[in-house]
Amino acid sequence: MATRNRTVIYRKHRDAVKSVRAPLSSSASGSGGPVIEMASLLNSNRSSYAPLSTEDPGPSSRDAFTVGLPPAWVDDSEEVAANIQRARVKMAELTKAHAKALMPSFGDGKEDQRLIEALTLEITDILRRSGKRLQKLSSSGSAEDSNVRKNVQRSLATDLQNLSMDLRRKQSTYLKRLQKQKEGPEGVDLEMNFSGNKSRLEDDEFDDMSLNEHQMHKLKKSEQFTVEREREINQVMQSVNELAQIMKDLSVLVIDQGTIVDRIDYNIQTVAVSVEEGLKQLQKAERTQKKGGMVRCATVLVIMCFVLLVLLILKEILL
Amino acid sequence: MVLVSAVRDYINRMLQDISGMKVLILDSHTVSIVSVAYSQSELLQKEVFLVELVDSISKSNESMSHLKAVFFLRPTSENIQHLRRQLASPRFGEYHLFFSNLLKDTQIHILADSDEQEVVQQVQEFYADFVAIDTYHFTLNVPSNHIYMLPAVVDPSNLQHFCDRVVDGIAAIFLALKRRPIIRYQRTSDIAKRIAQETAKLMYQQESGLFDFRRTEISPLLLVVDRRDDPVTPLLNQWTYQAMVHELIGIQDNKVDLRNIGKLPQDQQEVVLSSEQDAFFKANMYENFGDIGMNIKQLVDEFQQIAKSNQNIQTIEDMAKFVDNYPEYRKMQGNVSKHVTLVTEMSKIVEERKLMLVSQTEQDLACNGGQVTAFEAVTNLLNNERISDIDRLRLVMLYALRYEKESPVQLMQLFNKLASQSPKYKPGLVQFLLKQAGVDKRTGDLYGNRDLLNIARNMARGLKGIENVYTQHQPLLFQTMESISKGRLKDVDYPFVGNHFQQGRPQEVVIFIVGGTTYEESRSVALQNASNSGIRFILGGSVVLNSKRFLKDLEEAQRIARSSPAVV
């Protein structure tokens, strides 16, 4: 695709104009002084970045344009973005830990389990905290600023949701593989043993004591495994549930791709419409408030009526 | 993906080198250009957190200097004025200016003059100056489209604007594709000739350096034709999905506005019909109404199965699977309800307006012969009170276009009947159409009765029997494309501009219809491209027409022509 860069011509002309303007401005600098002072007074009134910004770039400054400081919520959003990045790094570690745990090893595997647990908890925690913080991004300032804030929220929410889904998918594959592994060698044995056990107990209970003992030992062992496996599964399930909760909260913020909400022109229209709607709501609220005065009066009068009625009845009773 | 991916590439390049939070500022034309090719969520991924129109930007004075501004505008004088005001009191930290077409030197000077704060970091021309609605179909959304029907003397300045916009759009297409074409135009159309010549001047003389691309063996072809050469296609009722939705409801920039239609849930009031994002639509956009019904039923059945299995959650594993698949499920639900709503609405309209009956006669008028039977059929429908005014008007127009010269008495009878029955009918509209697009003005063989070969072909088709009586019609464009494929486009009908010449068949062809294209024609182009004939066709027009739009253009042109002293 063809493009053409006109910046060079533009800069040349801009510099040419500047050099023409410069000698003129040096003669006018005397009168420029008081103008600049007035301008800075005006600026201090209209700043929306109150506590943070100490310098206000006035439109009358002739020097290089200084970049003003962004509003407070940008810091929050940047923190959330940093958290997401950290969570990504931890996810990579988790993948490695999963792979290691699934490999056949000589040891107990308990350390691996603990590492996996710790990592999973950490990641879930980061995601949950980021989700909550995202929802609470404070809004102040103009409509445009709140639009920017809303869009930043949406973008971070999409990232968070993708991470959560990723984590869940990793966990469920790990879980499935874990189940397959644990069931594999023991499952067949268990089945045979149980069916064999039952038939024998029915027929001849006290025959073959030795076999029974052997079977009891195997039973205990398989019980242990079952308990452990149940614990692991429960843990994973718990984190799955938590993530589901996070996803539900975030889904309000995330845009569905391919729908009308994902269209740029629709979003531009809605801004205009929502400003109008806001105005209507304000007017309605004003009206209701006025009416509210009436409602209050009427309520007071009704209460007074009741009170007087009660007094009347009391008077009749006591007299 | 050809046209859409060109626009996407441009936008990607605009945004990629600028880091940090950005605001994208567009004008009313570039909004359409960007919206059909790029989604809001993709913008968010590129850290564009605000999108605004250039005229509303100046209304606020609030300084947002932590944002970098990316402007993507058409280089019009109004936009340059808006920019001047912005640059005089800048609101954003940095300004990156991208224009969708060629800038004049004076415009650059005006901008440089007002940039006292030196906030502008770059000024570039990125030639995405067309709305890429489908893979091989683009439009320009030209306002005041009707002006092409009027002679130049009536309103020369507006006509010049029209031509400039069209030439800019066509130039942008070729710059985006990095080609310089051989240009041919329809002989009988003055405006086609004018546009072809101005395009040639731009590409070969004024900006020949810019268009000097690596030459391929066979240059691509640009063919500029006039809508009035085929007035039948926009008047016909359509029965294939995309064309039908546009005809009955209306599609604008791949969006369908359903707000006038009864009570719909909030998220169904405006829907998106884009072949890029909707797989079901992509598979069904060129299918006819009966097949669509069946396919939608299949889609609904699939969806219901998934919904039922979602309700049947018993184990925790089921729940986990449900949460996993929830986003997909929600997307599918939205999609299914969108298509069901559209098809329901169209069925309702078909039933109300008795379109099956009307369309049968329309197709007969467009495709088959028999003046007497045609006259009877049209008269019967005119007498039928259930037929709406617009349908009656279309029937009479179709009859008039075909049997213009045969039996003028009967034609007058039809005109009178139409005038007496339709109170809103602007008298003389049909005659105006005949003056614009009558048999004397047309080049192409619209009814296949000029050329011996075409007559024979029609007879063969009649003997073979017709698959679907409602989709018999082939737009004239189909014949034009066939002629180009065989290298047999007649020089006498479609001459070359200047001293261009082309031997043999081109491999890339852009056909531009001045006055507007229709979705039936874009379907024809897509099917032709899919048939792997070795030639790639791209279709474009000043607007996308349906019968309502075409009639509106006719009425506007007639009104202006009447009130202008210059027209005889």
CA distance B230 to chain A (A): 33
Chain A interface disruption, residue of B271, B323, B336, most A CBs within 10 A: B323
Residue-averaged pLDDT of chain A:
73
Non-local (6+) Cβ contacts of B41 within 8 A are: A154, A155, A158, A255, A257, A262
What pLDDT is attached to residue A42?
Answer: 43
Greater confidence, B421 or A316? Answer: A316
Q: Per residue in A175-207, pLDDT tens? A: 788 778 766 655 444 434 444 444 444 444 445
Residues of chain A contacting residue B50, judged by C-beta atoms under 8 Å apart: 144, 147-148, 151
- Is the model's pLDDT at B68 over the cut of 60? yes
Contact between B40 and A64 using a beta-carbon 8 Å cutoff = no
The nearest alpha carbon in chain B to A247 belongs to: B323
Q: Say yes or no for a CB contact (<8 Å) between B334 and A259.
A: yes
Indicate yes or no: CB of B320 within 8 angstroms of CB of A272.
no
A129's tokens: 């905290």
Verify whether the Cβ–Cβ distance A3 to B125 is below 8 Å: yes
Instruction: Report the 10 Å Cβ neighbour count for B531.
Output: 10
Q: How many CB pairs under 8 A join A and B?
A: 202
From the list A68, A154, A265, the residue facing B32 with the nearest CB is A265
Q: Which residue of A has its CA nearest to B36?
A: A263
More confident residue, A32 or B169: B169
Q: What is the CA radius of gyration of chain B?
A: 26
Contact state of B124 with A6 under an 8 Å Cβ cutoff: yes
Contacts with B189 (C-beta within 8 Å, 6 or more apart), sequence order:
B225, B226, B228, B229, B443, B514
Report CB contact under 8 Å: A165, B324.
yes
CB contact under 8 A, B65 and A57: yes
Strand pairing partners for A5?
B124
Chain A's closest residue to B20, CA to CA, is: A78
Q: Does residue B402 contact residue B372 with C-beta atoms inside 8 Å?
A: no
Quick one: pLDDT band at residue A273, thresholds 50, 70, 90? Answer: low
β pairing state of B221-226 and B508-514? parallel
CB-CB under 8 Å, B51 with A267: yes
pLDDT tens digits along B518-552:
999 999 999 999 998 889 999 999 999 999 999 99
CA-to-CA dists, residue A62 to A36, A43, A66, A100, B65, angstroms: 10, 16, 11, 63, 16
Q: In this predicted structure, what is the pLDDT of residue B15?
A: 93
Which of A17-31, A166-180, B380-394 bottoms out in mean pLDDT, i.e. has the lowest?
A17-31
- How far, in Å, CA of B240 to CA of B255, rounded? 17
CB-CB neighbors (< 8 A) of A2 in chain B = 127, 175-176, 178, 210, 213
- Min Cα–Cα distance to chain A from B135, Å: 16
Q: Could you tell me which chain B residue has the CA closest to the CA of A151?
A: B49
pLDDT at residue A65, rounded to an integer: 43
Two structure tokens written together for B40: 């809001």
pLDDT above 60: residue B194: yes
Over residues A94-103, the pLDDT tens digits come to 888 888 877 7
Tokens describing residue B480 = 């034009």
Instruction: Give the pLDDT mean for A205-232.
Output: 76
What mean pLDDT is reported for chain B? 89
**Is the model's pLDDT at B413 over the cut of 70?**
yes
Q: Say how many C-beta atoms besides its own lie within 10 A of residue B299's C-beta.
A: 17
B236-240, B409-413, B470-474: range with highest mean pLDDT? B236-240
For the stretch A274-310, pLDDT in tens is 666 777 888 888 887 767 677 888 899 999 999 999 9
Reported as a single tens digit per residue, the pLDDT across B278-321 is 999 999 999 999 999 999 999 999 999 888 887 777 776 677 67
Q: How confident is the model at residue A53 (pLDDT cuts 50, 70, 90)?
A: very low
Residue A267 · residue B51 · CB < 8 Å: yes
| A294: closest CA of chain B, how far (Å) | 35
B40 vs A267: CB contact, 8 Å cut-off? yes
Identify the pLDDT of residue B455: 72
Chain A, nearest residue to B57 by Cα: A144
Task: Tell me the shortest Cα–Cα distance from A257 to chain B, in angstroms.
Answer: 7
Determine the residue of chain B that is closest to A258 in CA distance: B277
**A132-167 residue pLDDT tens:** 888 777 666 666 777 888 888 888 888 888 888 888
ipTM > 0.90 for the complex: no
- Chain A hits for B267, CB-CB cut-off 8 Å, are 259-261
Contacts of A18 in chain B (CB under 8 A): 118
Q: Is A54 a residue whose pLDDT tops 60?
A: no
Residue A269 above 80 pLDDT? no
* Paired tokens of B344: 């329901």
Q: Which residues of chain A neighbour B127 with C-beta distances below 8 Å?
A: 1-3
Of B49, B253, B267, the CB nearest to A152: B49
Does residue B156 register a pLDDT over 80?
Answer: yes
Q: For residues A267 and B145, which has the higher predicted lDDT (pLDDT)?
A: B145
For residue A268, the distance in angstroms to the closest alpha carbon of chain B comes to 7
Cα B492 to the center of its chain, rounded Å: 28
Measure A117 CA to nearest chain B CA, in Å. Answer: 19
Position with higher pLDDT, B568 vs B327: B327
Distance from CA of A211 to the nearest CA of B (A): 37
Shortest Cα–Cα distance, B221 to chain A (Å):
18
| Contact yes or no for A68/B91 (Cβ under 8 A) | no
CB within 8 Å: A158 and B89:
no
* pLDDT confidence of residue B463: 66
pLDDT category at A252 given cuts 50, 70, 90 is low
Contact (CB<8Å) B64/A267: no
Which one, of A257, A270, A137, A156, lies nearest residue B49 by Cα? A156
**What pLDDT score was predicted for residue A140?**
60
Q: How confident is the model at residue A58 (pLDDT cuts 50, 70, 90)?
A: very low
Bridge partners (DSSP) of residue B224 are B185, B512
Give the Cβ contact number of residue B329 at 10 Å: 15
> Who among A10, A71, A262 is closest to B40 (CB)?
A262
Is A249 within 8 Å of A131 (Cβ atoms)? Answer: yes
